[in-house]
Structure 1
Amino acid sequence: MSSSNDRVPDEELRPTETKGYKVGEKKSVAEYSQLDANDESLNRWKASLGITGEGGSAGDPSKPKLSLHSLALESTSAPGGKVQLDLSNLTQVQLDEVKKSPLTIKEGVEYNVAISFTVGQEVLSGLKYIHVVKRAGVTVDKLEQMIGSYGPREEPYVKRFATEEAPSGMLARSGNNTVRSRVIDDDNNVYADFTWVFKIAKEW
């Protein structure tokens, strides 16, 4: 079982600041659609966000800005290619249950974290995924990866992050790892924040 010492404090989830980097001005879908209509590279970027010269997809103000649907640990050796945590419409009670049901990773395998999400209202730019892993009260890993910029659409986006290698050995298999994950943007707006648990085993 994970202990109370495995709680990840907010300060450990702060993104790394890039010296000299200035956060750009946020714009609505309509404002983006009117930007430099004759700039071909900008038009390709806007098209990748689902924005067209006619105003594009304005999004639905009744929907959350970002909805996280799942987190998966993907590996070619895993049954079905991945083990997955369903995060759709979870209540606090269900989130607490997630902490009691560790995902299992086979020791020594290469895997990557992947998240599935939808954007509901407006273009979200500078999104990052950060997670901190604690074991027996000690921070053992931190992952910080760019997600990028995404516009509103019904179909979920899937973002896969850098490949990692699961630890091996009896010590690695002897306890659970508690992970606090967060999706954040350049302005430090938090769109998702949840805790989950995984364990290392001899087999999936």
Structure 2
Amino acid sequence: MERAETMSVDSSEDAGDYRMSERALTSVEELLRKDADDESLRRYKEQLLGDAARGDRGDPNDARRVVVEEFRVVFEDGSQDIVYHLDTPQGIEHMRTTPFVLAEAARYKFVVSFRVNRAIVSGLRFRNKVKKTVLSNTDEVVLGSYAPRSKPYEFVYPRHDWVDAPSGMFYRGKYMAQFRLVDDDKAEHIKNYYTFEIKRA
């Protein structure tokens, strides 16, 4: 399965000493104008911004700044992916009302793909909360800042490992969960609920 790019504009692995961490710099044009007399920096910013520097600012007719296209559950053993398409209200409702099943001890991870429209989104964060009776777990991951473009970005969680579904009678049953994408401006780009069930392998 082809994966979309995961690079953000302030990734510590890619951005070197020049990071778009200033919240005011949400305009691609503004960022390109900043230090425009520095030729090497200008070329670097154009490379970092990619399609946005060449005029691709995503969908100008979509009022949403960040559009989550897909929420996918993938498995280490190659089992069929569980996929929810979230770019429409119908898709969001389908995820909310259609549980999925995890076998005990299954190893899995989440893959979330999203597009950014019109302007840079700063400090994007993924928050996921899972509850079952007295059990509760919340994860928050800072994704970084992303330039607008038509091609989706992709976030994989966890990036370098797998989540182990718990085993045992105490852990079997239905779980309620919620995931959100928020940014440094406290804008909530998606908030959706989903349910899943852990069953005996």
8 Å CA contact retained: 2:125, 2:182 = yes
The structure-2 alpha-carbon separation of the partners of 1:123 and 1:43, relative to structure 1 and needing over 3 Å to count, comes to: farther
The structure-2 alpha-carbon separation of the partners of 1:100 and 1:142, relative to structure 1 and needing over 3 Å to count, comes to: same
1:147 aligns with 2:146: no
Letter aligned with residue 65 of structure 1:
R
**Percent identity, aligned pairs only?**
26
DSSP-derived class of the 2:151 partner: coil
Determine which of 116, 125, 129 is the counterpart of 2:126: 129
- In structure 1, how many angstroms separate the alpha carbons of the residues matched to 2:24 and 2:120? 12
8 Å CA contact retained: 2:32, 2:45 = no
DSSP-derived class of the 1:154 partner: strand
8 Å CA contact retained: 1:129, 1:184 = yes
Letter aligned with residue 117 of structure 2:
G
Matched residue, 2:86: 87
1:193 aligns with 2:155: no
- In structure 2, how many angstroms separate the alpha carbons of the residues matched to 1:145 and 1:105? 23
Matched residue, 1:178: 176
Matched residue, 2:154: 158
8 Å CA contact retained: 1:132, 1:139 = no
Matched residue, 1:6: none
Aligned length, in residue pairs: 175
Specify every segment of 5 or more residues in structure 1 that has no aligned partner in the other structure, as ranges: 1-21
- In structure 2, how many angstroms separate the alpha carbons of the residues matched to 1:39 and 1:198? 52
User: How far apart are residue 23 of structure 1 and its match?
Assistant: 6.3
Displacement over 6 Å in runs of 4+: none
- In structure 2, how many angstroms separate the alpha carbons of the residues matched to 1:143 and 1:33? 35
- In structure 1, how many angstroms separate the alpha carbons of the residues matched to 2:87 and 2:59? 18
Structure 1 length as normaliser, TM-score?
0.74
User: How far apart are residue 145 of structure 1 and its match?
Assistant: 0.8
- In structure 2, how many angstroms separate the alpha carbons of the residues matched to 1:45 and 1:167? 44
User: How far apart are residue 109 of structure 1 and its match?
Assistant: 2.4
Structure 2 length as normaliser, TM-score?
0.75
Letter aligned with residue 114 of structure 1:
V
Q: CA RMSD in A?
A: 2.4
| Worse-superposed segment, 35-44 or 194-203 | 35-44
Letter aligned with residue 116 of structure 2:
V
DSSP-derived class of the 1:155 partner: strand
The structure-2 alpha-carbon separation of the partners of 1:58 and 1:99, relative to structure 1 and needing over 3 Å to count, comes to: closer
The structure-2 alpha-carbon separation of the partners of 1:147 and 1:78, relative to structure 1 and needing over 3 Å to count, comes to: same
Letter aligned with residue 130 of structure 1:
R
Cα deviation, 1:97-129, whole Å, max 9, x if unaligned, reads 433321112211222111011112211121000
User: How far apart are residue 58 of structure 1 and its match?
Assistant: 3.7
Cα deviation, 1:31-72, whole Å, max 9, x if unaligned, reads 1122224274675455333243xx643444321211111111
Cα deviation, 1:143-176, whole Å, max 9, x if unaligned, reads 1112222112212111102232111112222x21
User: How far apart are residue 142 of structure 1 and its match?
Assistant: 0.8
Matched residue, 1:10: none
- In structure 1, how many angstroms separate the alpha carbons of the residues matched to 2:78 and 2:138? 23
8 Å CA contact retained: 1:29, 1:57 = no
DSSP-derived class of the 1:33 partner: helix
